[in-house]
Amino acid sequence: MDRDSLPKLEPPKDVQGKIKTNKDKTAKKRNRPKSMEFDNVPSRPPTPQSDAASTKVDSSPKAKVKTPTASKATPPNLLLPSFRGTYRMKENPSIVQQITALLLRTEKQKQPPKHVSLTKEPPRVKKALAIGVHGLFPATYLRAMIGQPTGTSIRFANHCAEAVRRWADSHGCEDCEIEKVALEGEGKIADRVENLWKLLLNWIDHIRDADLIVVACHSQGVPVSAMLLAKLIELGIITNAKIGVCAMAGVNLGPFPDYKSGMGMLMGSAAELWEFANPESEVSKRYETSLKLILAHGVRITYVGSIDDQLVPIESAIYSPANHPYIYRAVFIDGRIHAPDFIAHLVGFACKLRNLGISDHGLVRELSVPLAGSLYGGEGHSRLYDDGQVYDLGVAHTLETTDVGSVPCEIQKHESLVPSNPYLLPWIMRGLLEEDFVKTELSSETEELLKQFDDWKPATKALKDVKYRLEAVRSRL
């Protein structure tokens, strides 16, 4: 410290030009590198550079422009499968086919349709209602994992209204009037249904007059929305309106069971979310009853799950046990984090089969645990509700699909997620690929999956294990 102070006392006070020289000499005495000459340059955020760029420093303005690497455009988010790539336009049967259908009424012809088709003439919408229902209101110390609670109902209603406006403008309904309703209130499922119902009574006249009602809901708000709609239908308040539910990351089968012991007691009223994993629980039975009622009325439900949800398994988000033509399933892939690789398209492929009324042989369930996102710092549970294409899908599913008549909703018995047999996944994949529809109608997609499988380089240990287990059925692909 004494040596450092000496140079400052040597130069005269009236000669300031020598100060820099003395400082440079002092720096050399300390054996400091030459790069320290740039310490006085204003700091800026670090930018990724190649090794070659980091070894050579040029202070010229031209070099400063070239130093930061050109930022690449963020890949777009994906929503798989494609709506129009899943359903086709319904074709009118020829006269010969109609006569044959009348004369030869086989059991196959008496079976109800497994899925909807694209309608040729979408309805005209004059008055629409966009309703937002928020999810869980977590404690402050859990918001980093689950997402911010404030304002989400308003956000959902705004996104939903914008999606309705886009659809209306593109289908000749520019004069469509859209009302937005944000239903906010926390608590357990039953308490929320009761409190939000009181708020909904203020909008009864708008509900009666609406041609279209779309409910955008998230997490805990998904079963709450189903129960509210069931109540509106039971009381005869909704009659002829088209109704759609955009259900994002819903806790239809509860969160990951492993979190119950560590988080369940900390989350207060939200601890009941794990009861959805038990089909015999009161809240689970009430949800199933409401779901069957609204589907029988013709409500279209779009279940969207995030591929890296840190709180809700993909199996729970898309409600795998339920089977009905009015249910559409999709997976959201965040373009900032995930590349559209093999595993993303595989889950999308499984969702497409379910949308067409074909079993996925438990593939989504088997992949739910390996796909779990990071509990700390993960955004999968809340990232999807800010993407407009999620709401566009819900609106299109509501307005652009045909009616299938009276088809009962079947909900299979399910169990909580547990570590599975490692040999089960190859057999599941084999059974899926042996489906007649897959071999005849989706052969091009299975070929594309093979190419993606060869190029797939999983990053996590769980997904590396998935690839190892799927090597056994590579020849089938």
Sequence ranges of the domains in the chain: 2-66, 78-419, 425-473
What confidence tens digit (pLDDT) does each residue in 272-289 have? 899 999 999 999 999 999
Which H or E run contains 297?
A: helix 282-297
Can you give the pLDDT at residue 393?
Answer: 98
Res 446 pLDDT > 80: yes
Burial status of residue 428 (CB atoms within 10 A of its CB: 0-12, 13-18, 19 or more)? buried
Res 331 pLDDT > 50: yes
Out of 150-159, 163-172, 357-366, 391-400, least confident range: 150-159
Tokens at 34, concatenated = 């030459």
Distance CA 201, CA 223 (A): 19
Indicate the SS3 state at residue 182: strand
Distance CA 363, CA 432 (A): 8
CATH assignment, 78-419: 3.40.50
> End-to-end CA distance of the chain, in Å?
72
Can you give the pLDDT at residue 138?
Answer: 59
What confidence tens digit (pLDDT) does each residue in 305-319 have? 999 888 899 999 999
Distance CA 276, CA 259 (A): 14
Pairing outcome for strands 410-411 and 78-80: unpaired
* Cβ neighbours around 453 below 10 Å, total: 19
Res 62 pLDDT > 50: no
Can you give the pLDDT at residue 93?
Answer: 65
pTM of the model: 0.81
**Sign (positive/negative) of CA torsion 407, 413, 419, 420?**
negative
Out of 4-13, 49-58, 66-75, least confident range: 49-58
Mean pLDDT of 437-465: 90
What confidence tens digit (pLDDT) does each residue in 227-258 have? 999 999 999 999 899 999 999 999 999 998 88
Residue length, the chain?
477
Distance CA 255, CA 369 (A): 11
Mean pLDDT of 68-72: 50
